[in-house]
């Protein structure tokens, strides 16, 4: 019986591309590198902020340069005003309210910075999630399963009682590494065809379909 859901954040719950693209290009331009478009930004997302910046640079740079550009991006994107266009995908809030109504525990595990994840849980979701975890010095990035294990422990649930929901190969690999059943969403940063090739346990096209999966369990 499913008693808990662990969610990825960007591309799964929130459409963050416009804000990330804007702040990323500010950082690139600050250091005289070319801007990238929304589609390129989506392609580079999923492995944390530093990897995003490294991919966006499109060339090999020394560690000092990567540190400087990454720090500039992270500092600016961490500011509250950086999330002016970030919104939940259509149907997400309704789905979360229904999960709460039927007593399902919920958690976020994201490769976004931990302070930003916790702030978004309050600002965007009004604290709907029981647990919100993000990137920190003590927590390895997904697909390492540590963050998912932490969520399981805080939820007080066993692996077989929890589904993991995400939109990229990083998420699905994290679920595999944590031995959790996975649900891939097609409205995020990867195509349905690509996600299908990764063999998740479930694929959904609309948030309401998650409720149907739980009810059938």
| Four-CA torsion 40, 44, 50, 51, nearest 10 degrees | -130
Q: Rounded to two decimals, what is the model's pTM? A: 0.92
The conformational region for residue 46 under phi > 0 = left, psi -120 to 50 = alpha, else beta, is: left
For the cut 80, the answer to whether the pLDDT of residue 147 exceeds it is yes
Lowest mean pLDDT among 8-12, 65-69, 89-93, 120-124: 120-124
pLDDT in tens, 7-26: 999 999 999 999 999 999 99
Question: Are residues 169 and 125 in contact, defined by beta-carbon separation less than 8 angstroms?
Answer: no
pLDDT of residue 15: 96
Q: What is the mean pLDDT of the chain?
A: 95
pLDDT band at 137 (very low <50, low <70, confident <90, very high): confident
Q: Is the pLDDT of residue 208 over 80?
A: yes
pLDDT of residue 36: 97
What pLDDT score does 198 carry?
96
Report residue 203's pLDDT band, with 50, 70 and 90 as the boundaries.
very high
């Amino acid at each position: 019986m499913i008693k808990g859901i662990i969610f990825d954040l960007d591309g799964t719950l929130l459409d963050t591309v416009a804000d990330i693209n804007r702040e990323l290009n500010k950082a690139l331009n600050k250091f005289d590198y070319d801007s990238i478009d929304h589609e390129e930004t989506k392609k580079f997302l999923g492995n944390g902020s530093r990897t995003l910046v490294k991919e966006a640079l499109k060339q090999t740079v020394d560690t000092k340069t990567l540190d400087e550009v990454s720090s500039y991006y992270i500092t600016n994107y961490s500011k509250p005003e950086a999330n002016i266009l970030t919104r939940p995908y259509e149907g997400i809030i309704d789905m979360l309210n229904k999960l709460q109504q039927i007593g399902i525990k919920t958690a976020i595990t994201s490769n976004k910075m931990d302070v930003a994840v916790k702030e978004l849980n309050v600002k965007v979701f009004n604290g709907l999630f029981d647990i919100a975890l993000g990137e920190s010095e003590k927590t390895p990035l997904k697909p390492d399963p540590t963050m998912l294990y932490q969520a399981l422990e805080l939820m007080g649930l066993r692996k077989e009682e929890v589904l993991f929901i995400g939109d990229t190969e990083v998420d699905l690999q994290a679920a595999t590494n944590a031995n959790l059943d996975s649900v891939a969403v097609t409205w995020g940063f990867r195509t349905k065809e690509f996600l299908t090739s990764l063999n998740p346990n479930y694929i959904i096209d609309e948030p309401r379909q998650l409720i149907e999966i739980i009810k059938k369990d």
